[in-house]
Amino acid sequence: MSGNRTVNRAAPNYKNPHPLVITIRLSLHPDRTLGEPVKKWRLEQGLFQRDLARLIGVDEMTIVNWEKGKTKPIKQYLERLEKILGDLLPS
């Protein structure tokens, strides 16, 4: 049995020298995210993220994620933001 060899056919034995890179454009206006005016307004008002979260009715981490551009508010919370911030939100 010294001549038998096990071959794993599930994992190919090669390396791709040019990995596929995919770029996704998340916004038509990448320089104007929702989080920028929210954070600007919040700081101008002297509010912490937890304060704004209480005003809107969301968790503090939700505000953190909005400001960082990681997530966007659902319609219900977007309407509340529009009432608070007015024309400061991007269209």
Work out the pLDDT band at 64, boundaries 50, 70, 90: very high
d(C-alpha 28, C-alpha 21), whole Å: 20
Beta strands in 20-71 (DSSP E): none
- Amino acid (1-letter code) at residue 45: Q
pTM, entire model: 0.61
Q: Are 75 and 65 a contacting pair, CB within 8 Å?
A: no
d(C-alpha 42, C-alpha 47), whole Å: 5
pLDDT score, position 81: 87
pLDDT score, position 25: 46
From residue 11, alpha-carbon distances to 6, 7, 8, 15, 18 in Å are: 13, 9, 6, 11, 18
Domains of the chain: 35-88 (1.10.260.40)
